[in-house]
Structure 1
Amino acid sequence: MKGDDRVKISVIGCGYLGAVHAASMAELGHDVIGFDVDEAKIRSLSAGEAPFFEPGLPEILKSATASGRLRFTSDVTELKGAKVHFLAVGTPQKAGEYAADLTYVDLAVESLIPQLSEGDLLVGKSTVPVGTAARLAARIDASGSGALLAWNPEFLREGFAVKDTISPDRLVYGIPEGERGLVAKALLDEIYATALSNDTPLVVTDYATAELVKVSANAFLATKISFINAMAEIAEVTGADVTQLADAIGFDARIGRRFLNAGVGFGGGCLPKDIRAFSARAEELGRGESVAFLKEVDAINLRRRQRAVDLVVESLGGQVYQKKIAVLGLAFKPDSDDIRDSPALDVAVQLHGLGAEVVATDPEAIANSARKHPQLSFTETVEDALHGAEAVVVVTEWKEFRELDPVAAKALVANAIVIDGRNCLDAEAWRAAGWTYRGMGRP
């Protein structure tokens, strides 16, 4: 893509989603300007520095800013002249409620409307309750700007977000009916020309379906995780092995093995808040019973965190007061520094609350964790965490934790007890090295 063939794009909101999207669009050859009200974030991004950990992002961020295809601003008026505007602001859970907080979405749209011109396209990427797009489309129509709205949900996996943006496994366009929809589709096709040329599946649909695709996908994944964790609860009282159970049912092509890993459950900035917001929206629509099961999905997920804590307490004879516990992992998943609703961090905090001397480590999430929970003790090395520990808890399945040498680790601890909160260790190898091994839903 060269010269006038480039689409001029703006991205509103430069958090995790927006920063990745902006850099990836520039990597694909488009001219991109990212906007955010956080001046520190803008300075960092403008210098080609990612304000969070995401594999592959620093490289394309530096490349795109150096080439001039990507720049960032905190002045919304600089967005005028872009043809396509991607909305990528956060939709956090409302305090004390399940519902999504759309404050940032509404503020972003109101700020953008004066910058829009006839034929511009505003593209929603944020995860929103169904019905939001139709409401925003009506607001844009009423503004007289002549701009159009499309909804293009994201399906990013943290740790793989750059790949998922540049080479998505599917594209979904929620567009208006008639000629306006054809105009919106043509612009989106131009932006995603590379993916479409590689035969990426494309679903062109209405606003409501596009909104529901994202939340229903997350609801399904959360349900699958909680299903196997519910089976882990049964396995624990029957002596069954949930890992072998998952292997056996995973061979069924209708079920599949992915997302059937029992452990301390899911977390992060998407699944927990999205299933809660989906439940709240269903209640508003008078169909709360349709997704009532999601409340149990959420409850099972939270129980598994408590179960990990209980296993530590049980293994140490009923109390952990003033006993050193090594917690390996803080991020909600490996290859990320994201601690939002992290089961790992929750386990560390709960153990600290019981009087344990918690020493936690993580390859990327220590700084974020220390800001949120300064009462915990942190160390940069696994060796320091293990030294003199009465028990070890693995709660984020980073490669360096999965590949720990159980013999070498045993030489560092005071008591060879390991709680495998992700069922990611070789149980036989750890037991052979003299460890008391406790997994989640394993004998």
Structure 2
Amino acid sequence: MNLTVIGTGYLGATHAICMAVMGYDVIGVDVDAAKVERLNSGEVPFFEPGLPELLTKALESGRLRFTTSFQEAGEFGDVHFICVGTPQRKGSEAADMTYVDASVTELSKHLHRRALVVGKSTVPVGTAARLAELIRTTAPAGDQVELAWNPEFLREGFAVDDTMKPDRMVFGVTSAWSEEQLRAAFAPVLAQGVPVKVTSLQTAELVKVAANSFLATKISYINAMAEVCEATGADVHDLAEALAYDERIGGKFLRPGLGFGGGCLPKDIRAFAHRAEELGVGQAVGFLREIDGINGRRRARTVDLVVELCGGDVAGKKIAALGAAFKPNSDDIRDAPALDVASTLASMGADVHVFDPAAMENARKAHPELNYGTSALDVARDADVVVLLTEWTEFREIAPEAMAEVVGAQRIFDGRHALDSDAWRAAGWEYKALGRP
């Protein structure tokens, strides 16, 4: 079967490339002609390990091409994947469905034969039912076009593996034919024994936001414990390790620190809470408001502790900020805690110098008020405080003795609990971290 992927952002480009590598003929569609040109020339417009090599392979095979033409996609595809963004709506916590609605409407105009449209975007529950009616009334083929929902679970930095061998697949369908089409569209994936959960459209829509809400809750829980530890003199790092031995709790996502950011968790939990209120069950997920609040407080507390390390005032002090992306192995700076902290310190008069292995270009565009360097040691030269904000491996592996040779003062704030505190203190550093005495 022929596949199309509507939207070539992080999700869409990854999906199109990986499906072509797995043997399908694929067309990727985007309204951004410049992005289409870059992809057709073999350039991935974002940082994702392993993806550039797969794009080259897919293009050379002749199974992948990108276009701005919805007509071309409609005539070509048997299964059409909707992979456009659902950002937070301006002035509201709700998801902005502009891009989803526009892409489905434009694609439907060119569906003249039986086909399956598959939503992968993260949307408010109830969206699929509305889109199914939109397709039915807009597509020339009418009832011959069905809608299914197949939420994505990509982790930035691991997107290739998560696409080609996910830990599970969810198929939200309304007919046996839709399920058959999805199973055919993912045959190489399912052949590896990946489990499939077949559900209703509504359940499939909820799976992604429920998963993200659970992860956000677990992250914020240990950060709430960090607040308690700071008030009592306890050590949240040791507390997290002790909790992780409990099989009912586990250690994953129980790392205390600066909190979560990026283009998914923050806006998804807000949109979920907003949608629950619309449905009259806002009380059931009211805890998500506090989760969001805990996450934000960690950023403010980080600033406070850096100020403490500077003797109570950061004005005129040089601060080396290690990290800009919201997580390692990504150039994504959307709602990045690292840049939030860096820009706040700069607004207080600090001379902030930032380095990130992948996100420098994006950071410069978003925060031109900050200074940027060429390496961790470069930005740390003569610094009054070093602040670790994104836990890249190369930052974890910095030798405290090497860093000590370039800084102005041996003071470090570990915003991600990524460093060996004993080793840094033994090397003469004043070490601080959230929730640690």
TM-score per shorter chain, which class?
A: over 0.9
Please tell me the residue identity of whatever aligns with 2:86.
T
The 5-angstrom pairing of residues 33-432 of structure 1 reads: 33-79=27-73, 80-143=75-138, 144-145=140-141, 146-176=144-174, 181-432=175-426
Give the partner amino acid of 1:332.
F
Paired letter, 1:85: H
Which deviations, in whole Å up to 9, do the C-alpha atoms of 1:134-161 show, x marking residues without a partner? 1001111223522110000000000000
Shift in Å, 1:117: 3.1
Which residue is equivalent to 1:3?
Answer: none
Distance 1:87 1:10 in 2: 9
User: How big is the shift at 1:384?
Assistant: 1.2
Deviates more, 1:260-269 or 1:377-386: 377-386
| Partner Cα distance (1:29, 1:81) in 2 | 16
Deviation at 1:50, TM superposition (A): 0.4
The structural deviation recorded for 1:191 is 1.4
Partner Cα separation in structure 1 for residue 230 and residue 406 of structure 2: 29
Please give the per-residue CA displacement for 1:210-251, whole angstroms capped at 9, x wherever unaligned. Answer: 000000000000000000000001111111111111111111
Q: Distance in 1 between matches of 2:189 and 2:235?
A: 42
How many Å separate the matches in 1 of 2:321 and 2:429? 16
Cα deviation, residue 118, structure 1: 2.9
d(CA) in 2 for partners of 1:11 and 1:195? 17
Give the aligned residue type for 1:433. A
Q: TM-score, normalised by structure 2?
A: 0.98
Per-residue deviation at 1:412? 0.5
Q: How many residues of Structure 1 are paired with residues of Structure 2 in the alignment?
A: 433
Residue 417 of structure 2: SS of its match in structure 1? Answer: coil
2:429 to 419, 435, 438: 435
Residue 65 of structure 2 aligns to which amino acid in structure 1? R
2-side partners of 1:259 and 1:383: how far apart?
Answer: 29
Q: CA deviation at 1:196?
A: 1.4
How far does residue 380 in structure 1 lie from its aligned partner after superposition? 1.7
Please give the alpha-carbon distance, in whole angstroms, between the structure 1 residues aligned to 2:346 and 2:155: 30
> Which residue identity is paired with 2:82?
L
Measure the CA separation in 2 of the matches of 1:116 and 1:204: 26
1:29 aligns with 2:39: no
Letter matched to residue 137 of structure 2: A
Give the whole-Å Cα distance in 1 for the aligned partners of 2:403 and 2:366: 29
SS in 1 for 2:3: strand
Runs of 4+ off more than 3 Å: none
CA distance in 2, matches of 1:174, 1:262: 35
CA distance in 2: counterparts of 1:222 and 1:234, whole angstroms:
19
- Whole-angstrom CA distance in 1 between matches of 2:401 and 2:181: 58
| Corresponding residue number in structure 1 for 2:13 | 19
Name which of structure 1's ranges 69-78 and 295-304 shifts more when overlaid on structure 2: 69-78
CA distance in 1, matches of 2:363, 2:190: 40
> How far apart, in 1, do the equivalents of 2:198 and 2:100 lie?
23
Aligned counterparts of 1:197 and 1:251: Cα–Cα separation in 2:
34
Deviation readout 1:334-388 (Å, 9 max, x if unpaired):
0000000000010100100100000000000010010011111011211110100
* Structure 1 letter corresponding to 2:105: E
Give 1:4's aligned residue: none
| CA distance in structure 1 between the aligned counterparts of 2:332 and 2:122, rounded to whole angstroms | 18
SS at match of 1:374: coil
Deviation at residue 119 of structure 1 after TM alignment: 2.0
Give the letter aligned to residue 164 of structure 1.
D
Q: Provide structure 2 residue ranges, at least 5 long, that are not aligned to the other structure.
A: none
Aligned CA RMSD, in angstroms, stands at: 0.8
Paired letter, 1:251: Y
Aligned to 2:211, the other structure's residue is in SS state helix
Worse-superposed segment, 107-116 or 141-150: 141-150
Identity, % of aligned pairs? Answer: 58
Deviation at 1:32, TM superposition (A): 0.3
Higher mean displacement: 224-233 or 242-251 = 242-251
Quick check: 421-430 or 375-384, which moved more? 375-384
Give distance in 2, aligned partners of 1:325 and 1:96. 33
Work out the CA distance in 1 between the residues paired with 2:353 and 2:135: 52
Query: Any idea what SS the aligned residue of 2:109 has?
Result: helix
User: For 1:115, what is the secondary structure of its paired residue?
Assistant: coil
Unaligned runs of 5+ residues in structure 1 are 1-6
